[in-house]
Copies of this chain bind each other. A is one copy, B any other.
């Protein structure tokens, strides 16, 4: 069983911004115990796209792909665009388990992090 974590970020025209996401995936990979690979991809503007990200996981022999929408709020991208693309890909890979996690910003721990960050500089 090969498990993949696939981070889906928005994508930016700034190459440094996209590099941040690859760096993040690399850092998670260095800590992750439950994943055999951690990949990054982008909803728009940057490459790899979501279909390309899923394909990369499959090429690396992933049998399970967990998708993490790396977004802060449940706007159109989180509610419609990403699920629609992921659903299309699921059809292509019917022998692979592709599941989506709740988007990053939905996590309640964020209130505490933001509070700590702000208090540190207050």
**A-to-B contact residues, CB < 8 Å:** 3, 5, 7, 9-10, 12-14, 16-18, 20-21, 24, 27-28, 31-35, 66, 68, 70-76, 79, 99, 101, 104-105, 107, 109-115, 117-119, 121-122
Contact = CB atoms under 8 A, between A and B. Distances in A.
Contacts of A118: 5, 28, 32, 34-35, 66, 68, 101
A35 B122 contact: yes
B73 A20 contact: yes
15 contacts: A5-B122, A7-B114, A17-B73, A17-B75, A18-B73, A28-B118, A32-B119, A33-B119, A34-B119, A35-B118, A72-B72, A101-B117, A104-B114, A107-B113, A107-B117
Nearest to A116: B109
A66 to B, nearest CB: 6
